[in-house]
């Protein structure tokens, strides 16, 4: 909150969801690439996942793969039972091992 009455703020809120079609396709692709990294190294942390991407893969492809976006996508994958979180580490679930 800014005490200056001349200061205005504009916020845009976008839902993030796992969707293979439509508007959310870029987020879906990001999720699936992260899922592949989790499958190859079960027990990986969010920071380790982000380190597996080159700088241009994180910063030059939409959506930017920031720690916040990564956390949202990982949470969504856990919600739909593609992965599970245990002790700050991500593990693939049986359902995700069957998708290729």
Positive or negative torsion for Cα 46, 33, 74, 85: negative
Give residue limits of the domains in the chain: 22-98
Architecture of the domain delimited by 22-98:
Orthogonal Bundle (1.10)
C-alpha 96/C-alpha 65 separation (Å) is 21
User: pLDDT tens digit string along 1-44?
Assistant: 567 777 777 777 766 556 656 567 888 889 999 999 999 999 99
Global pTM? 0.74
Among 71, 66, 98, residue whose Cα is nearest residue 85: 71
| CA–CA distance, 80 with 28 (Å, rounded to integer) | 13
């Amino acid at each position: 909150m800014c005490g200056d009455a001349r200061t205005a703020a504009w916020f845009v809120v976008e839902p993030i969801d796992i969707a293979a079609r439509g508007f959310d396709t870029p987020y879906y692709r990001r999720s699936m690439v992260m899922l592949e990294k989790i499958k190859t190294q079960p027990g990986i942390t969010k920071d380790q996942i982000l380190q597996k991407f080159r700088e241009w893969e994180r910063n030059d492809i939409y959506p930017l793969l920031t720690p916040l976006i990564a956390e949202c996508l990982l949470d969504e994958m856990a919600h739909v039972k593609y992965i599970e979180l245990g002790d700050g580490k991500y593990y693939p679930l049986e359902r995700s091992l069957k998708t290729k």
